Amino acid sequence: MDDEWNLQQERMYKMHQGHESMHVEMILIFVCILIIAQIVLVQWRQRHGRSYNLVTLLQMWVVPLYFTIKLYWWRFLSMWGLFSVITSYILFRATRKPLSGRTPRLVYKWFLLIYKLSYAFGVVGYLAIIFTMCGLHLFFKIKARDSMDFGIVSLFYGLYYGIMGRDFAEICSDYMASTIGFYSVSGMPTRSLSDSICAICGQKIIVELDEEGLIENTYQLSCNHIFHEFCIRGWCIVGKKQTCPYCKEKVDLKRMISNPWERTHILYGQILDWLRYLVAWQPMVIGIVQVINYSLGLE
């Protein structure tokens, strides 16, 4: 194996020998395109956030499918298909008018499940990679390649479906809240909010603030609007919303999530938002660089 690796390295060195200036030029082109793309994407997101999110979501959905079919990754394709079918049904339910009273809970339960599963897969994958790098796989007589492959695949599944789940949850949250009428993306709510109604699901709040509920409690934001605890957690953590669904006052997530173990979910969500760029736009940036290099004769 070592001799074969050395031969490959030697062939690679001979192939690229004498092309140092060309390599420098290709690196400069890549860096320039990367900077320009980052500026364009940031400006697009700030000025037209809705279209940016929709196009990014489409990229996230289609780009991995292309590589999956090209590389014959049938296991990922089957899971992608199952996720797409169920999520499409959830999206269909969330966009119906009039909105069923059970739909908001169904939507948040599904995406909360996806979020927790992706979090678990991500942690397991990360630990498996560290496990292999430290050589601990030898104690269990597991091949390093098998252990590393398991870790990388698990980490990829966790990150990919975590990003997809959060993006679809945000779309469903906007549609449902706008349909109920207590929330509007750009304007004032079309309905006035009663003290006994949750603005997220539109259902009556039964448990009082100072009572302990059997399934969930009632939560009050700093703006004094009250919600079902499950609804407001789904709205803020899963749906990526950081404002009150009714008055749009900023939500203090640190006060809402007192358990330090739960705060890791917020950090994980922020990591997913950052990785969205790598999955959705990085392949396109690399493609543009290759087209420029080809047109300039830099191969």
- pLDDT at residue 260, rounded to an integer: 44
Q: Return the ∠ at Cα 31 (arms to 30 and 37), rounded to 5°.
A: 85
Residue in the structure block whose two tokens are 């009250």: 226
Per-residue pLDDT reduced to its tens digit, 35-85: 888 888 888 877 887 788 788 888 888 877 877 888 888 888 899 999 999
Q: What pLDDT, in 10s, does the model give residues 106-155?
A: 887 888 888 888 888 988 998 988 888 888 877 878 888 888 889 888 98
What is the per-residue pLDDT for 222? 74
Q: Can you tell me the distance from the alpha carbon of 245 to that of 232, in angstroms, rounded to the nearest whole number?
A: 9
Name the one residue in this structure whose structure tokens are 């100072």: 210
Percentages of the chain per state (helix, strand, coil), in multiples of 5: 70, 5, 30
What was the pLDDT predicted at 88? 92
Q: Quick: pLDDT tens for 169-179.
A: 878 877 777 77
| Token reading at 117 | 């599963």
What is the pLDDT, as a whole number, of residue 89? 93
What percentage of the chain reaches a pLDDT higher than 90?
5
**3 state DSSP class of 226:** strand
Could you read off the pLDDT of 192-226 as tens digits, one per residue?
666 777 777 767 777 776 666 565 678 777 777 78
pTM score above 0.85: no
